[in-house]
């Protein structure tokens, strides 16, 4: 469920692109054994005008299973990183430069 939508930004790379606009949303989602609250990037398709959540760019906190401790790093639809403290999980996109596994150590 979308709690808040930020103003959309139009696609500026031309009419040949499949998306017409992009926006950030504050959302709460419940799925299987987790509840998540976070910022998600969305795109609007030209073909049907619908908004779709892109999980390639997200920043969220999740409460739920599995119970883990430590950090994790995975590629699903882009680089994602997480800090897991038992039932509490924080997720972000490593491509922002916040992850040494994605970009290597910074000096």
Q: How far is CA 41 from CA 4, 13, 24, 70, in A?
A: 12, 18, 5, 26
Residue in 81, 59, 56 with CA at minimum distance from that of residue 70: 81
Residue 106 falls inside a structural domain: no
d(CA 67, CA 87): 5
Number of domains in the chain: 1
Say if residue 94's pLDDT is above 70.
Answer: no
Residue 103 falls inside a structural domain: no
The domain of 30 spans: 2-96
Residue 6 falls inside a structural domain: yes
- The residue-averaged pLDDT of 70-99 equals 78
Residue 14 falls inside a structural domain: yes
Q: What tens digit of pLDDT does each residue of 22-79 get?
A: 999 999 989 888 899 999 999 999 999 999 988 667 889 999 988 999 988 776 666 6
Q: What pLDDT is recorded for position 27? A: 93
């Amino acid at each position: 469920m979308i709690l808040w939508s930020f103003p959309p930004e139009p696609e500026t790379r031309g009419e040949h692109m499949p998306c017409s606009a992009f926006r950030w949303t504050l959302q709460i989602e419940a799925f299987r054994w987790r509840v998540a609250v976070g910022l998600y990037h969305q795109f609007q398709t030209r073909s049907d005008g619908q908004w779709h959540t892109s999980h390639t760019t997200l920043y969220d906190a999740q409460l739920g299973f599995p119970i883990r401790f430590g950090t994790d790093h995975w590629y699903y639809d882009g680089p994602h990183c997480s800090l897991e403290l038992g039932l509490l999980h924080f997720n972000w996109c490593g491509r922002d430069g916040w992850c040494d596994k994605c970009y290597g150590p910074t000096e």
